[in-house]
Every structure is written in structure tokens, then in C-alpha cells.
Amino acid sequence: MFKIINISKTYKDKKVLDNINFDIKKGSCLGIIGESGSGKSTLAKIILGIEKANSGEILKNNKPTASIVFQDYNSSVNPKFTVYEILNEPFWNSYKKLDMKNAILLLKSVELEINILKKYPHELSGGQLQRVCIARAIANKPNFLVLDEILSSLDILNQIEIINLLKKIKERNNITYLFITHNLESIFSLCDRFLVIKDGKILDDILVNNFLQKDVSPYTKQLFNAIIPIKF
Ligand SMILES: Nc1ncnc2c1ncn2[C@@H]1O[C@H](COP(=O)(O)OP(=O)(O)OP(=O)(O)O)[C@@H](O)[C@H]1O
């Protein structure tokens, strides 16, 4: 779906991405893991066309229609909008509107009760609000979804539920995922493959079903050693 070729990005004097190369296969879930400031979100923004790289190129096929879900569900919704209005945001620039029937179907697809349509963000739990954000992101039926640390502000039970929900949505809608996280356990549960990024460079490119700790960088080994097994 995407081929990322020699992408570099500098902000002022700071090199944030340094000659990045990888591809994202249609229908896959590619994880990106790395510490804060390693360049994960910048890379996603460049793929989505929100940011420009200083050099390199991105080849696309199958006309990707992209959408994104962010970590901070509170600041990514307008507190004065009802859930129904939030779900309608992707249709602002189109003559279409999400009618009540489709809004209900959308809510069901993220396993929310229909009575929240008239509620405001402050009346919802964090897990419910993140589900609303996921519903908004898939309302336009994208074929590529960036999930940027979407578990980070949730408690462990909500994290597990959202991971399971994402698996179902992926199967049902055949969406390609780019899943950015600090959480290696969630990568093993959701992704086929993942990249480990440090200081703007790809240290490892690992197939989930076929990895050998001895073949990975010392940094990635350290990450593996820190895993606390959690069943998703
Ligand atoms: N618009 C910008 N202008 C200047 N510097 C920026 C900008 N966006 C990001 N940066 C810097 O680029 C570096 C990488 O940021 P980025 O958000 O891509 O990292 P990240 O790996 O996603 O971090 P986190 O896990 O904390 O979200 C950081 O040092 C950040 O301060």
C-alpha cells in the first residue's frame, strides 16, 4: 500500500528521521515502537501528508483513504459537540450526512450503546470516548488507519477491550493499520510485523510470528526483556 523510501526529516537543527525505508502491505498491521521523541508520530504525519519530509519519497498504490486516531481522546473532540455531531465531522466537506440509522450502526460497530448519541464528551468514560474517536475515524470507510498511541491514556482493561475491538474492525472492514505504541505486548497481539525506531532510525524490522531475540539489536532485546506477559 505504501513504500517509504529514504525519508529524512529535520526540525530546525534536529534530525528527527534519518533515511527511513520500509513498506506497509495492504491488509497488514504494521506496529511502530520506540521511546518518546524517537520520531514515530512525525513518520505517521509524513505518510499521511500532514508533514513534508526534507528528502525521500512515499509511493502509494490502491488509492489509500486514510484516517487517524490519537492518544488524547479529550483534546481530539469538541467538548460542545454531542456524540452524533462528533460522528458527523468527517462529512463536513461533503454533501452526505451521517443519518441516524448509520450513526447507530457505527456505534454498534464499536460496541457502544445507542443512548450515548445525544451525550457530550464529559458524560463519557475514557474508554467510551476513545471508541467514539475510533467510530469517527472509520465513519468514512477508510482503507488505512493510523492508531497513534491510542491505548496510552486507558486503563489495562480498556486497553484489552480496545485491542480486541480493533481486531474485529480490521477483519470486518479489511483496513490496513499503522499502530504506533510504547507497548510491546499490544504489538504482539495486533500486528503482523513491527519496526523498532530509535533516534529517528529503524533499528529492527521484525515479523511477529518469526522473531529470534538473538537477531535483534541490544535496544530491542532490552524492550523484550521488559515485557510483562498480559493476555489480550
Ligand atoms: N512540528 C514540530 N516542530 C518542531 N519539532 C517537532 C515538531 N514535531 C515534532 N518535533 C520534535 O521531533 C521529535 C520527534 O517527535 P515525534 O512526535 O515524532 O516523536 P514520537 O516518537 O512520536 O514521541 P511520543 O512517543 O512522545 O509521541 C521530538 O524531539 C519533537 O519535539
- The CATH number linked to 43 is 3.40.50.300
How confident is the model over 153-166, as pLDDT tens digits? Answer: 889 999 999 999 99
Parent domain of 34 = 2-153+162-180
Within a domain: residue 72? yes
d(C-alpha 3, C-alpha 21), whole Å: 8
Within a domain: residue 48? yes
Ligand 1 pocket, CB under 6 A: 11, 16, 34, 36-42
**Ligand 1, residues 13, 14, 16: which to mutate, most atoms within 8 A of Cβ?**
16
d(C-alpha 64, C-alpha 176), whole Å: 9
How confident is the model over 73-102, as pLDDT tens digits? Answer: 888 999 999 999 999 999 888 778 889 999
Kindly provide the ipTM of the predicted complex, given to two decimals. Answer: 0.95
Q: Whose CA is nearest to atom 13 of ligand 1?
A: 37
How far is the centre of ligand 1, averaged over its atoms, from the C-alpha of 225 (Å)? 26
d(C-alpha 146, C-alpha 42), whole Å: 12
Which ligand 1 atom is the nearest neighbour of the CA of 38? 21
Question: For the chain, how many structural domains are there in total?
Answer: 1
Q: Model pTM?
A: 0.91
Within a domain: residue 103? yes
Report residue 226's pLDDT band, with 50, 70 and 90 as the boundaries.
confident
How confident is the model over 174-184, as pLDDT tens digits? Answer: 999 999 998 88
Closest CA to 133 of 159, 101, 107, 160: 107
Within a domain: residue 195? no
Contacts made by residues 49-56, CB under 8 angstroms, sequence distance 24+: 51/9, 53/7, 53/8, 53/9, 53/17, 54/8, 54/9, 54/10, 55/6, 55/7, 55/8, 56/4, 56/5, 56/6, 56/7, 56/8, 56/19, 56/20
